[in-house]
Structure 1
Amino acid sequence: MTDQPTPARSPFDDIAPALGRYTSEVLFGEVWERPELSKRDRSLVTVACLVSLYRSNELPFHLKRALENGLTREELVEAITHLAFYAGWPTAASAIAAARRVFEEVESSQ
C-alpha cells in the first residue's frame, strides 16, 4: 500500500521520531500483520471505531486503506449508515462526507 507510513514518511518523524517508529514498526508492522484477523476485517473495525469516535483526521487514510484491503465502497457506506444509529447522526454525516472525498480521489487517480 502506498499510503502506509514508513519510517522515512511517517508524519511524526520530524517532531516525534519514537511515535513515528511505533506507528511504522508496531502498529502497521506487528498489529496489522497478526493473522487472527484479515486486513480487510481490521480495516472494517478501524473505520467503525474512527467513525464512532469522530476521528475525522485519521478517517480518510483508513478509508483508502480499507478499499485497498478489499472492502467495497458499498460496504463502507453501509457500515457508516449502520453506525448512524449507534454513534450518532453527525458522526455518520461527517464520515459520509469524508468517504465521498476519498472515493472521488481514488476514482480520479485510476
Structure 2
Amino acid sequence: MNKELFEKGLEIRRSVLGAEYVDGSIQNADDFNMPMQELVTQYCWGEVWGRPGLDRKTRSIINLAMITALNRPHELKLHVRGAINNGLTKDEIKEVFLQTAIYCGVPAAIDSFRTAKEVFAAMEKE
C-alpha cells in the first residue's frame, strides 16, 4: 500500500462522503474486507479523485450518472450527499437524473430521484 496516496485519499474521501461514514467504514473493516477499504481509499480517492484534471463537482456529476446507470442505490445515497458537499444544488442533481433518464432508462432515473429524496429528507433533519 502507498501510504501517501492512502492518506491523500482518506482526506478527500472524508471531505466528500463525511468523516463519520468513512471512519466507520475503516474502523468496522476486518481482515476480510480491509484490503477493499485500502484499495478504495488509495486508488479511487487518492489516485483518481486526487487528480487535477476535473474538479470535485464535475466528478460528482459523473458519479451520479454512472451510479444511476449501474443501479447502485446504496452508493447513490453516499454520492448524493457527496455531491451536495462538493457544491451541487438539488436542481443540478435533478438535471443529472433527467439526463440519465434519456440515456440510462426511465426506471433507473426514477429510482435515483427516489433515493435522492430520501437523502435530502435525512439531511434536512440533521
Q: TM-score range by the shorter chain?
A: 0.7 to 0.9
Task: State the one-letter code of the partner of 2:75.
Answer: E
User: Which structure 1 residue ranges, 4+ long, deviate > 4 Å from structure 2?
Assistant: none
Aligned twin of 1:90: 107
Give the whole-Å Cα distance in 2 for the aligned partners of 1:85 and 1:11: 40
Does 2:28 match 1:9? no
Shift of 1:51: 0.5
1:71 alignment partner, SS class: coil
**Contact 1:33–1:39 under 8 Å retained in 2:** no
The count of aligned residue pairs is 108
Aligned pairs for 1:3-42 (under 5 A) are 3=19, 5-6=22-23, 9-10=25-26, 13-14=29-30, 15-42=32-59
Shift of 1:42: 0.5
State the TM-score, normalizing by the size of structure 1: 0.88
Aligned twin of 1:58: 75
Decide whether aligned partners of structure 1 residues 87 and 11 sit closer, same or farther in structure 2, where only a CA change above 3 A counts: farther
State the TM-score, normalizing by the size of structure 2: 0.78
**Contact 1:12–1:19 under 8 Å retained in 2:** no
Name which structure has the greater RCO, CA cutoff 8 Å, separation 6+.
Answer: 2
**Contact 1:51–1:87 under 8 Å retained in 2:** yes
Unaligned runs of 5+ in 2: 1-14
Aligned twin of 1:104: 121
Give the whole-Å Cα distance in 1 for the aligned partners of 2:68 and 2:25: 25
Identity of aligned residues (%): 30
Task: State the one-letter code of the partner of 2:74.
Answer: N
2:25 alignment partner, SS class: coil
Decide whether aligned partners of structure 1 residues 95 and 11 sit closer, same or farther in structure 2, where only a CA change above 3 A counts: farther
Unaligned runs of 5+ in 1: none
Shift of 1:82: 1.6
Q: Which has the higher helix share?
A: 2
Give the whole-Å Cα distance in 2 for the aligned partners of 1:67 and 1:50: 16
Of the structure 1 ranges 9-18 and 93-102, higher mean CA displacement relative to structure 2 is found in 9-18
